[in-house]
Amino acid sequence: MFDFDRVIDRRGTHASKWDMMAKLSGITAADGIPMWVADMDFAAPPGVTEALSADVTRAVHGYYADTGSWATAASEWLARRHGLKIDPAWVSQTPGVVSGLGLILQAVTEPGDEVVVFPPAYHAFRKIILANERRIHDAQLVLRQGRYEMDLEALGAKLTPRTKIVFFCSPHNPGGNVWSVEEIRALATFCAERNLILVSDEIHCDLVLNGARHTPTLTAAPEIADRLITCIAATKTFNLAGAHVGACFTSNPVLKAKLDARIAASGLASYNAFGMIATEAAWRTGEAWLDALLPYLAGNHDLLNTRIERAAPGARAMRLDATYLGWVDFSGTGLAAADVAARVKDRARIFASPGEQFGPGGETWLRFNFATPRPLLNEALDRLDEAFRDLRR
């Protein structure tokens, strides 16, 4: 029904993943394969295309009227997929999760305040914190038996009076953890005892692999609802990053009022009509598409891990619970990180995300986006096989 093997030529279409590759890496779209930024190379769900086409056909593109249907679609999606029931009135629309994080910082912290992140962590956390003149408080994850764990005891010993808020990536990017209920509750208790606001970025919540099940932070720890803001979007799930629409929700009316005030003060209280139409259509009509996509992504995950570990002896690929972002440690190959990067970039002509972008603990790693048609993924893996051939002699 859905052909995820179909290769769609995105070159020259203003696709950042492909058309920014030359500028950022020196690899041209003519001979390179982008495996960096987190968007997929698959066609969007048919219901999204149909909804956008209907709007374009009307040929009148005025201001979007918020009737409440978009927030209702978001709440109904969370109930169906994750068993989480929220009031649509809790939802604030933002231009995306990252911009939502920036607005939250402006709403509830002051310049110079510290924001806890758990590196290696999504690099946009670091960028948005620094751009808002806040300080990064790293609480490096511990890798045990192929899985990341939080060391809350170590974090507690290093907090300062300026530590105000925690950015929690759930599921984790780049490590692919689906955090357990016990882990989430431990973090929630930690935040409650220290009067910290917890921001749970759950943008990857729908992209679970091989039977893993995401537990929303609000489900795992409802007792901290008054200090919790959750961020979600349809953009990762349905490959709609260009829609620039996200949602932040909290049951705390004081927090919501502060966030909405920042949204209004930033001139962001109006809506991107195409983005709202696309994301609402995705939540309402995209479930069958997603159900077909997930096993395909799981197959790509297994293929990537198996072939990279075989191509580069000593490389260790993380077994992901979620996301489509392969996370590979090359420290066991005996090669310097710069040598690994050069082989991937110059020999294989692949643009992957360097691990140091994700902060402490990522220095010997690379992140590979495997959300691409399998014929193209196999071509990339063939190139990596050749790039590390000398290690297998």
Question: What pTM was computed for the model?
Answer: 0.97
Domain with CATH 3.40.640.10 in the chain: 60-285
The pLDDT of residue 162 is 98
Domain with CATH 3.90.1150.10 in the chain: 16-45+288-392
Q: How far apart are CA 179 and CA 36, in angstroms?
A: 24
CB neighbour burial string for 49-88, b if at least 16 within 10 angstroms, e if fewer: eebbeebeeeeeeeeeeeeeebbebbbebbeebbebebeb
Does the 60-285 domain belong in CATH 3.40.640.10?
yes
pLDDT tens over the chain, length 393 residues: 899 999 999 999 999 999 999 999 999 999 999 999 999 999 999 999 999 999 999 999 999 999 999 999 999 999 999 999 999 999 999 999 999 999 999 999 999 999 999 999 999 999 999 999 999 999 999 999 999 999 999 999 999 999 999 999 999 999 999 999 999 999 999 999 999 999 999 999 999 999 999 999 999 999 999 999 999 999 999 999 999 999 999 999 999 999 999 999 999 999 999 999 999 999 999 999 999 999 999 999 999 999 999 999 999 999 999 999 999 999 999 999 999 999 999 999 999 999 999 999 999 999 999 999 999 999 999 999 999 999 987
Burial of 267 (0-12, 13-18, 19+ CB in 10 A): exposed
Where does 16-45+288-392 sit in CATH, by number? 3.90.1150.10
Assign 352 to helix, strand or coil. Answer: strand
Which tokens hold the place of 254? 């004081």
The pLDDT of residue 298 is 99
Which tokens hold the place of 230? 């959750």
Strands annotated E in 95-189? 114-117, 135-138, 142-144, 147-149, 163-169
- Give helix 287-311 / helix 374-387 axis angle, nearest 10°: 10
Which residues are CB-contacts of 201 (< 8 A; sequence separation ≥ 6)? 97, 101, 122, 125, 167, 168, 169, 170, 231
Length reported for the chain: 393
Q: How far apart are CA 391 and CA 333, in angstroms?
A: 8
User: In the chain, what is the straight-line distance between the N-terminal and C-terminal CA atoms, in Å?
Assistant: 44
